[in-house]
């Protein structure tokens, strides 16, 4: 066991866990933020996606010890009131079905749009293909990213 | 709200408001506040108790006018959280956006609560409407009595009863006490479909706001005080038996509290495992990795899916059990001018809901509390009650949102496993399956073979068609419910004469039973997910023999039935079917009626940069009769296309020496966004009884694909999955 100081969603938190513990379980079980999901445990499905200094990573295979000194953002840090354009677009187009993968989808989409204000379909394919959706919400994910991009660049409100 | 005797009242609320729905877990009252401090603020708001008068099982109204409607069918993404309460609210004449929604907790008064077979709306339609309409009538009667006016002069709006000529009005909350003492009308007056305000409209789903900020609660997220986590090492050959295990290294892992043999009853069989129980899930996983186990796998050495599928082809030569046969069938087939026969093969598949199976169970003195994602709350309560020998009403289940189900979570083995561990260890135990557990253990969609036979006259008219399914019987294996030399009725879904779109004069369906020890189960659209591949591919083959356009032939053969014909004609128009594909490209179509609805797809294939065939577009037409939420129907059909394509072009489940060769999403691959074709869904408008929506879009996907591959390449593929890089 070791003590780690983590910055999550702008808060500084201290946890005492085994160094190899994947960040996912620290976020979910130690810190009690269950929005980030467990789907595969080997970075294949993207349900556990969070941001590390703004970049999307798979927290299920990312050891907590490597997250020290970085800014971690989880779905809870995107906005609790659903005001983020990606969340608004997701609601507008009613993207989620079961919803289990959607935290990860949204985290990947937010990371994409922070680096690319007007992604093409190919950009979306590249950024989002790590996020599985067994319900099959892909057509809506694609449309919602385009819609969020327009909201963010104020083409529409 | 169910309250068990002798224990603190427990709450399980799902409260909706303008900003969404809040969900709290069931906790003993004292422990509640301690946990509440750690819970996200939205959930704190749900801790207020639910009060009110139950006018019937589905509707609770309190005196302030707050209306709660119970959804008795778990939501796994198919939209019941919105659709069930909306039907009740429509007849109660209240805006669904203003009501509170709550899950049933397995109470008997709701009857069947299993969300399966695309039955939630079509099977509950009359019950839900009657319950809303009866409550409305009782509220109007209570108001009319208070005012001394005829009920016929009263109306309702905005959760109030109105008397127009005097301008009087009373809120439902003010009337509930008097209304609840009135007799329940046996045949309440239902709204005319033309008067529906919310049914039939694309109303936003109340769960969506929760699913975009991480606040929706799933089984995976359940926590109670004193809870321990379990991860179970399972025999890789599924039905192997535990010989011995050494847990010394596992117990040395920090946080590991117990290591015990576990059991997971699944119908007549009990699967064995070794459970590592720890104070964190990570600890349980780490402990599990360090177990040293000896399994006896000798019974499973022969289990091999390729050999099994080969045996299905052999069995296809047998007559089997006839389900339905026209009197002249044999004679017509023998004397036909042209005949054709072909066999089609489909593999084993896993369900792979993105939320792996999990269950939190607390067995206490003579009672049991469960928190688990399950498609049938009542079935889970019954199974646990029987397993533990505890009365039904001493078992309660809290069902959160399901992270996918697809048939897998209609079964309760993973809940019984947690119940076993909780009983043995006298603590609340949460068992969480890994993805590997889910992929390796099943139960699975069975492999099957369809043998098709057809006869044509000289002009090319289809005179006779025979569909023979060779497959294991789900009801036989699980419920021991298949009589000898009888077809499995479920295997006839989609292919029976009743479901067939075609007016074929001599029709025959039959079933050859294949035995397997591989655990099998319902998988989205069940047998139709496999059988329609053969059925609708074969129709294309007959069209080719005739030199006819495959869609035109289908329209021609379905002239007798207007709903099928309308769907096919709509498909022709909406998809621009008449246009000839460019060289190297292709188009295919298929239609199926299953679970009470008709779906037809037109699938268009193009080439990627490397010249490989890819699905470019799918145009879909669905006739599901009267519907609640057209946007949900589009979403479900989009989802069926994705799941159907995954089943048709991605990895199958393969058994070798009793062991599944696939383990996780790197070798049991799913369709991803970069492979997603454009999808268009068109819904037919009519006033027929509601049909299913969660499954009917899936069966016609694979044949439409195979038919499009034929159109593009001239190659007829009769085996799934199809490797698009190689055709």
The 10 Å Cβ neighbour count of residue B447 is 28
Structure tokens at B479: 């419920």
- Do the strands B367-371 and B395-398 form a parallel or antiparallel pair, or are they unpaired? parallel
B17 DSSP β-pair partners: B20
For A11-33, what is each residue's pLDDT tens digit? 999 999 999 999 999 999 999 99
In a mutational test of the B interface, the residue from A2, A8, A94, A104 whose CB has the highest number of chain B CBs within 10 Å is: A94
Helical pair A138-152 and B630-649, crossing angle rounded to 10 deg: 120
With beta carbons under 8 A apart, name residues in chain A contacting B211: 96, 99, 102
Structure tokens at A142: 């694609």
For the whole prediction, is pTM greater than 0.80?
A: yes
For B432-491, what is each residue's pLDDT tens digit? 999 999 999 999 999 999 999 999 999 989 999 999 999 999 999 999 889 999 999 999
With beta carbons under 8 A apart, name residues in chain B contacting A50: none
Question: Is B678 touching A (CB cutoff 8 A)?
Answer: yes
Flag whether A157 is in a domain.
Answer: no
A29: domain CATH number is 3.10.20.30
Flag whether A125 is in a domain.
Answer: yes
Q: Is the pLDDT of residue B40 over 50?
A: no
**Residues B320 and A67: beta-carbon distance below 8 Å:** no
Question: Is B642 touching A (CB cutoff 8 A)?
Answer: yes
**Residues B615 and B677: beta-carbon distance below 8 Å:** yes
Structure tokens at B392: 């039904």
Q: Among A60, A77, A94, give the residue marking a domain's end.
A: A77
- Do the strands B256-266 and B269-278 form a parallel or antiparallel pair, or are they unpaired? antiparallel
Q: Is the pLDDT of residue B78 over 60?
A: yes
Q: What local confidence, expressed as pLDDT, does residue A154 receive?
A: 86
Q: How far is CA A119 from CA A109, A145, A146, in A?
A: 10, 8, 7
The nearest CA of chain B is from the CA of A127 a distance in Å of: 10
Q: Is the pLDDT of residue B105 over 60?
A: yes
- Fold adopted by B305-349+444-713: Aldehyde Oxidoreductase; domain 4 (3.30.365)
Mean pLDDT of the region B78-89: 98
Helix, strand and coil in chain A, % to nearest 5: 40, 15, 45
Flag whether A42 is in a domain.
Answer: yes
**Interatomic CA distance for residues B184 and B642, integer angstroms:** 45
Q: Are A102 and B212 an interchain contact pair (Cβ–Cβ within 8 Å)?
A: yes
**Interatomic CA distance for residues B170 and B139, integer angstroms:** 9
Fold match between B14-211 and B305-349+444-713? yes
**Residues B189 and B93: beta-carbon distance below 8 Å:** no
Structure tokens at B240: 């192997």
**Interatomic CA distance for residues A56 and A64, integer angstroms:** 15
Which of B679, B84, B212, B640 shows the shortest CA–CA distance to A96? Answer: B212
Total structural domains within chain A: 2
A118: domain CATH number is 1.10.150.120
**Interatomic CA distance for residues A124 and A115, integer angstroms:** 12
Same domain (yes/no): A6, A73: yes
For the segment(s) B219-299+357-432, the CATH number from 3.40.190.80, 3.40.1740.10, 3.40.50.2300, 3.30.365.10 is 3.30.365.10
Q: What local confidence, expressed as pLDDT, does residue B50 receive?
A: 56
Average pLDDT, whole number, for chain A?
A: 97
For B237-278, what is each residue's pLDDT tens digit? 988 899 999 999 999 999 999 999 999 999 999 999 999 999
> What is the CATH code for B14-211?
3.30.365.10
**Residues B438 and B357: beta-carbon distance below 8 Å:** yes
Q: Among A51, A77, A103, give the residue marking a domain's end.
A: A77
Burial string for A112-148 (b: 16+ CB within 10 Å, else e) reads bbeeeeebeeebbbebbbbbbbbbbbbbbbbebbbbb
Structure tokens at B413: 């083995």
Provide the residue ranges of all domains of chain B, joining segments of one domain with +. Answer: 14-211, 219-299+357-432, 305-349+444-713
Confidence of residue B628 (pLDDT cuts 50, 70, 90): very high
Question: Is B367 touching A (CB cutoff 8 A)?
Answer: no
Alpha helices for A2-101 (secondary structure H): 23-25, 85-92
Q: Are A37 and B39 an interchain contact pair (Cβ–Cβ within 8 Å)?
A: no
Q: Among A77, A93, A119, give the residue marking a domain's end.
A: A77
**Interatomic CA distance for residues A4 and A13, integer angstroms:** 8
With beta carbons under 8 A apart, name residues in chain A contacting B671: 136, 138
Domain that holds residue A37: 2-77
Q: Are B355 and A100 an interchain contact pair (Cβ–Cβ within 8 Å)?
A: yes
Flag whether A32 is in a domain.
Answer: yes
Q: How far is CA B586 from CA B437, B487, B571, B602, in A?
A: 39, 37, 16, 11
φ, ψ dihedrals at B167, nearest 5°: 75, 10
For B387-432, what is each residue's pLDDT tens digit? 999 999 999 999 999 999 999 999 999 999 999 999 999 999 999 9
Q: Is the pLDDT of residue B633 over 80?
A: yes
With beta carbons under 8 A apart, name residues in chain B contacting A94: 204-205, 208, 631, 635
Q: Are B213 and A36 an interchain contact pair (Cβ–Cβ within 8 Å)?
A: no
Structure tokens at B532: 């329609």
Q: What local confidence, expressed as pLDDT, does residue B706 receive?
A: 98
**Interatomic CA distance for residues B122 and B595, integer angstroms:** 9
Mean pLDDT of the region A40-64: 98
Contacts of B527 (CB under 8 A, 6+ apart): B448, B469, B471, B474, B488, B490, B491, B492, B493, B494
**Residues B98 and B67: beta-carbon distance below 8 Å:** yes
Average pLDDT, whole number, for chain B?
A: 92
Q: Are B664 and A126 an interchain contact pair (Cβ–Cβ within 8 Å)?
A: no
Same domain (yes/no): A19, A66: yes
Q: Are B638 and A140 an interchain contact pair (Cβ–Cβ within 8 Å)?
A: yes
Partner B, chain A 2-31, Cβ-Cβ below 8 Å: 17-18, 21-22, 25, 28-30
Q: Are A37 and B640 an interchain contact pair (Cβ–Cβ within 8 Å)?
A: no
Closest-approach residue (CA) in chain A for B212: A87
Question: Is A38 touching B (CB cutoff 8 A)?
Answer: yes
The 10 Å Cβ neighbour count of residue B316 is 19
Closest-approach residue (CA) in chain A for B434: A40
Q: How far is CA B167 from CA A68, A73, B140, B154, in A?
A: 68, 56, 15, 10
Same domain (yes/no): A97, A146: yes
The nearest CA of chain A is from the CA of B70 a distance in Å of: 19
With beta carbons under 8 A apart, name residues in chain B contacting A126: 674
């Amino acid at each position: 066991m070791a003590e780690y100081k983590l910055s999550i969603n702008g808060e500084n938190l201290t946890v005492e866990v085994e160094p190899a513990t994947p960040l996912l379980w620290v976020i979910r079980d130690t810190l009690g933020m269950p929005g980030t999901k467990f789907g595969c445990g080997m970075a294949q499905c993207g349900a556990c996606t969070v941001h590390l200094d703004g970049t999307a990573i798979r927290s299920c295979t990312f050891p907590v010890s490597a997250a020290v000194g970085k800014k971690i953002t989880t779905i809870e840090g995107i906005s609790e009131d659903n005001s983020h354009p990606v969340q608004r677009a997701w609601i507008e187009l009613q993207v989620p079905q079961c919803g289990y993968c959607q935290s990860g989808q949204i985290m990947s989409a937010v990371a994409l749009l922070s680096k690319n204000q007007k992604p093409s379909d190919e950009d979306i394919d590249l950024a989002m293909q790590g996020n599985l959706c067994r319900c099959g919400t892909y057509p809506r994910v694609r449309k919602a990213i385009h819609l969020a991009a327009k909201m963010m660049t104020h083409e529409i409100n | 709200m169910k309250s068990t005797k002798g224990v603190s009242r427990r709450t399980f609320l799902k409260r909706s408001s303008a900003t969404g729905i809040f969900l709290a877990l069931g906790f003993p009252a004292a422990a509640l506040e301690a946990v509440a401090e750690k819970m996200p603020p939205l959930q704190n708001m749900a801790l207020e108790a639910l009060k009110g008068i139950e006018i019937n099982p589905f509707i609770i109204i309190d005196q302030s006018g707050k209306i709660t409607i119970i959804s008795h069918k778990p939501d796994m993404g198919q939209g019941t959280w919105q659709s069930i309460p909306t039907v009740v609210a429509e007849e109660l004449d209240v805006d669904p956006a203003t009501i509170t929604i709550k899950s049933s907790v397995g109470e008997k008064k709701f009857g069947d609560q299993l969300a399966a077979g695309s039955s939630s709306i079509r099977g509950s339609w009359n019950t839900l409407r009657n319950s809303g309409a009866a409550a409305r009538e009782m509220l109007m009667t209570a108001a009319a009595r208070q005012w001394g006016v005829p009920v016929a002069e009263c109306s309702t709006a905005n959760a109030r009863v109105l008397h127009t000529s005097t301008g009087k009005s009373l809120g439902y909350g003010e009337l509930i006490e008097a209304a609840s003492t009135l007799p329940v009308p046996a045949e309440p007056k239902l709204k005319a479909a033309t008067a529906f305000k919310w049914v039939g409209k694309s109303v936003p789903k109340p769960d969506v706001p929760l699913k975009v900020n991480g606040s929706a609660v799933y089984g995976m997220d359940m926590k109670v005080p004193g809870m321990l986590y379990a991860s179970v090492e399972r025999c890789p050959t599924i039905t192997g038996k535990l010989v011995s295990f050494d847990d010394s290294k596992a117990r040395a892992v920090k946080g590991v509290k117990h290591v015990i043999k576990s059991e997971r009853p699944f119908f007549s069989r009990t699967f064995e495992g070794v459970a590592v129980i720890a104070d964190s899930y990570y600890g349980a996983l780490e402990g599990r990795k360090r177990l040293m186990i000896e399994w006896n796998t000798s019974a499973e050495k022969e289990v091999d899916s390729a050999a099994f599928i080969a045996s299905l082809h052999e069995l296809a030569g047998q007559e089997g059990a006839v389900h339905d046969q026209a009197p002249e069938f044999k004679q017509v087939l023998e004397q036909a001018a042209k005949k054709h026969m072909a066999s089609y093969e489909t593999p084993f598949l896993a369900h792979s809901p993105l939320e792996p199976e999990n269950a939190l169970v607390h067995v206490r003195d003579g009672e049991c509390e469960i928190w688990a994602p399950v498609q049938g709350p009542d079935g889970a309560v019954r199974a646990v009650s029987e397993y533990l020998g505890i009365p039904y009403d001493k078992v309660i289940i809290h069902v959160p949102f399901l992270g996918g189900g697809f048939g897998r979570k209609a079964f309760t083995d993973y809940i019984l496993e947690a119940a076993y561990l909780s009983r043995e260890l006298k603590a609340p135990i949460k068992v969480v399956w890994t993805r590997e557990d889910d992929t390796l253990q099943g139960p699975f969609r069975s492999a099957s073979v369809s043998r098709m036979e057809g006869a044509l006259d000289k002009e090319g008219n289809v005179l006779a068609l025979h569909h023979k399914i060779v497959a294991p019987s789900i009801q036989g294996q699980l419920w021991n419910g298949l009589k000898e030399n009888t077809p499995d009725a479920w295997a006839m879904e989609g292919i029976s004469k009743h479901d067939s779109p075609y007016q074929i004069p001599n029709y025959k369906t039959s079933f050859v039973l294949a035995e397997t020890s591989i655990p099998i189960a319902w998988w989205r659209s069940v047998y139709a997910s496999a059988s329609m591949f053969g059925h609708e591919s074969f129709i294309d083959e007959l069209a080719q023999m005739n030199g006819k356009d495959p869609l035109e032939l289908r329209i021609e053969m379905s002239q007798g039935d207007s709903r099928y014909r309308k769907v096919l004609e709509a498909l022709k128009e909406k998809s621009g079917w008449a246009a000839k594909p460019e060289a190297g490209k292709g188009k295919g179509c298929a239609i199926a009626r299953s679970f009470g609805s008709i779906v037809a797809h037109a699938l268009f294939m193009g080439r990627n940069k490397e010249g490989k065939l890819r699905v470019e577009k799918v145009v879909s037409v669905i006739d599901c009769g009267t519907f609640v939420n057209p946007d949900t129907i589009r979403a479900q059909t989009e989802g069926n296309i994705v799941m159907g394509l995954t089943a048709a072009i991605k990895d199958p489940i393969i058994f070798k020496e009793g062991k599944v060769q696939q383990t996780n999403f790197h070798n049991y691959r799913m369709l991803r966004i970069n492979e997603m074709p454009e999808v268009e869904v068109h819904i037919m408008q009519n006033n027929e009884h509601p049909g299913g929506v969660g499954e009917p879009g899936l069966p016609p996907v694979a044949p439409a694909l195979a038919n499009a591959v034929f159109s593009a390449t001239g190659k007829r593929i009769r085996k799934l999955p199809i490797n698009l890089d190689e055709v």
